[in-house]
Amino acid sequence: MKTVLINGKIITPMRIIDNGVLAFEGEKISYVGDKKGYPITEEDQVIDVKGQYISPGFIDIHTHGAGGHDFMDGTIEAFLEAAHTHMEHGSTTLIPTTLTSTMEDLFQTLDLFKEAKRQNKGPHLLGLHLEGPYFSMEQRGAQDPKYIKNPEKEEYEKIVAYSPDIVRWTIAPELEGALPMGSALVEKGIVPSIGHSNAVYEDVLKAYEHGYCLMTHFYSGMSTVTRVRGERHAGVIESGYLIDEMFVEVIADGLHLPKSLLQLIYKVKGSDRICLVTDSMRAAGCEEGEYVLGNKETGQPVLVKDGVARLMDESGFAGSVATADRLIRTMIHVAEVPLQEAVKMMTLNPARVMKIDHKTGSLAVGKEADIIAFDDNIHVSKVWVGGTLTKAE
């Protein structure tokens, strides 16, 4: 049986099709276009979305948790429940993210993720993003300094060999050993990303040449212009602008970056090189108050206040409490970006970075039926993951 969505405004990377029709059969999309091009039959299951937008499902390539759960809590429930919370807000593909931790906690997380994927009935769990422990101490942010170190070949090769589920890894590229590590990750199909880094432009350029194609939470935990003996050096932030092909993550919760910087990033990088990410911790989708960033037993206490997670002394942010729908609203209403471009930053662009755009990230015939419907306020009413209806209001 085909499912046919009618009376929708279909969002493509280039335009919005008014009064459009989208059909899918099983897990694949079979038609996208205007209603004149699709003759509905009695066998079709027709769903009237009543003028709502029909969009590709959101792809969040950097999240630490939601719904009161962190992906490093040490339970399968944490993976499944956090993923479910994100799905309720439109995410159909997730990359759960770790924090710097003990090797024991890391390997436990790798084991649990494998089982969570087996039990999962929610959004696609594409793989794991390791955030650390190879970071600049000066740019560590909320990462626990006890575990920060330089890359060692024997160690990271052991981690990569242990699990096939690692799909990206955030590293400070100026550290000794970081450049050959980038090349080694690329050979394994793992995306190396620049983050928590005190690098200068020359370091970043070399990193790009060694496969680093993405910057983790742009502006957060990275260097800007510095002076050495009076001479100015461009930092990681400026390098993100200078290297045209570099993708940048943006936490568009309206707090990590103000309107002026959101608009600057959009003006310079354009809609093709920005990936919106939540970088959410466990409090996403929950009330404000005190929480723990990372594992409940070994993580850091944080305070969720005024719509963002902060270190207890409020000296800096400690992840966001955003869900994907909030990111789209911010880009539209604060950064004044057109809807179809904001959606592309949360769908097609992350799919391109992760090299899955051949099967998801946009609404096209033959791609997976990862589809959501939402209203003018980006309130998500329906979610299909691989053609299966997982949320309906």
Contacts of 263 (CB under 8 A, 6+ apart): 335, 336
* The one-letter amino acid at 219: Y
241 alpha-carbon distance from chain centroid: 20
Distances (CA, A) of 28 to 23, 88, 115, 221, 392: 9, 21, 26, 40, 19
To the query of whether residue 279 is one of the catalytic residues in this protein, the response is: yes
Please tell me the distance from the alpha carbon of residue 327 to that of residue 12, in angstroms, as a whole number: 18
Cβ(357)–Cβ(48) under 8 Å? no
H-state helical runs in the chain: 76-88, 103-119, 153-162, 178-187, 201-209, 236-242, 259-269, 324-333, 339-345, 348-353
Length of the chain: 393
Per-residue tokens: 302:
């944080």
Per-residue tokens: 164:
């096939």
Per-residue tokens: 278:
């939540």
Nearest residue to 238 via CA among 262, 210, 218: 218
Angle at which helix 201-209 crosses helix 178-187, to 10 degrees, equals 30
Contacts of 83 (CB under 8 A, 6+ apart): 66, 94, 96, 116, 120, 122, 123, 125
60, 73, 105, 279: the catalytic one is: 279
Cβ(177)–Cβ(149) under 8 Å? no
Please tell me the distance from the alpha carbon of residue 70 to that of residue 79, in angstroms, as a whole number: 7
* The one-letter amino acid at 120: N
Cβ(227)–Cβ(206) under 8 Å? no
User: Cα–Cα–Cα angle for 226, 231, 236, nearest 5°?
Assistant: 30
List, by residue number, the catalytic residues.
Answer: 279
